[in-house]
A and B are shown apart, each in its own frame.
Chain A
Amino acid sequence: MIRVTRRYRFSASHRLHAAALSEAENRTLYGKCNNPFGHGHNYVLEVSVRGPVDPATGRAADPRALDRLAEKVVIRAFDHRNLNTEVAAFRDCVPTTENLGREILRRLEQAWTSEFPGPWPVLEKIRIAETERNIFEISR
Chain B
Amino acid sequence: MLITKRVDFSASHVCRNPALSDQQNLEIYGADANPHGHGHNYAVEVTLSGEPDPVTGMVFDLKRLKDILNERVVEYFDHRFLNYEAPPFDRVVPTTENLALEIWARLQPALDGRLAAVRVYETEDLFVDYFGGAR
The docked-state distance in angstroms from the alpha carbon of A49 to that of B135 is 14
Asked if A5 and B92 make an inter-chain contact with CB atoms under 8 angstroms apart, the answer reads: no
Indicate whether A19 reaches chain B with its CB closer than 8 angstroms. no
The docked-state distance in angstroms from the alpha carbon of A53 to that of B112 is 26
User: Which residues from chain B contact A62 at a C-beta distance below 8 Å?
Assistant: 28
| Interface of A (DSSP majority class) | mixed
User: Which residues from chain A contact B125 at a C-beta distance below 8 Å?
Assistant: 6-8
Indicate whether A52 reaches chain B with its CB closer than 8 angstroms. yes
Asked if B17 and A52 make an inter-chain contact with CB atoms under 8 angstroms apart, the answer reads: no
- Interface range on chain B: under 10, 10 to 19, 20 to 34, or 35 or more? 20 to 34
Indicate whether B133 reaches chain A with its CB closer than 8 angstroms. yes
User: Which residues from chain B contact A41 at a C-beta distance below 8 Å?
Assistant: none
The docked-state distance in angstroms from the alpha carbon of A59 to that of B98 is 8
Asked if B93 and A53 make an inter-chain contact with CB atoms under 8 angstroms apart, the answer reads: no
Question: Quick one: given A1-B133, A7-B125, A62-B28, are A53 and B19 in contact (CB under 8 Å)?
Answer: no
Indicate whether B127 reaches chain A with its CB closer than 8 angstroms. yes
Asked if B126 and A2 make an inter-chain contact with CB atoms under 8 angstroms apart, the answer reads: no
Asked if A58 and B124 make an inter-chain contact with CB atoms under 8 angstroms apart, the answer reads: no
Question: Quick one: given A56-B19, A62-B28, are A4 and B97 in contact (CB under 8 Å)?
Answer: yes
The residue on A at minimum CB distance from B124 is: A7
User: Which residues from chain B contact A60 at a C-beta distance below 8 Å?
Assistant: 97, 128
Which A1-18 residues have a C-beta within 8 angstroms of B?
A: 1-8
Count of A interface residues, CB-CB < 8 Å: 18
Indicate whether A139 reaches chain B with its CB closer than 8 angstroms. no
Indicate whether A64 reaches chain B with its CB closer than 8 angstroms. yes
Indicate whether B73 reaches chain A with its CB closer than 8 angstroms. no
User: Which residues from chain B contact A6 at a C-beta distance below 8 Å?
Assistant: 125-126
Indicate whether B1 reaches chain A with its CB closer than 8 angstroms. no
Indicate whether B55 reaches chain A with its CB closer than 8 angstroms. no
The docked-state distance in angstroms from the alpha carbon of A8 to that of B125 is 7
User: Which residues from chain B contact A4 at a C-beta distance below 8 Å?
Assistant: 96-97, 126-128
Q: Which positions in A face B, CB cutoff 8 Å?
A: 1-8, 52-53, 56-60, 62-64
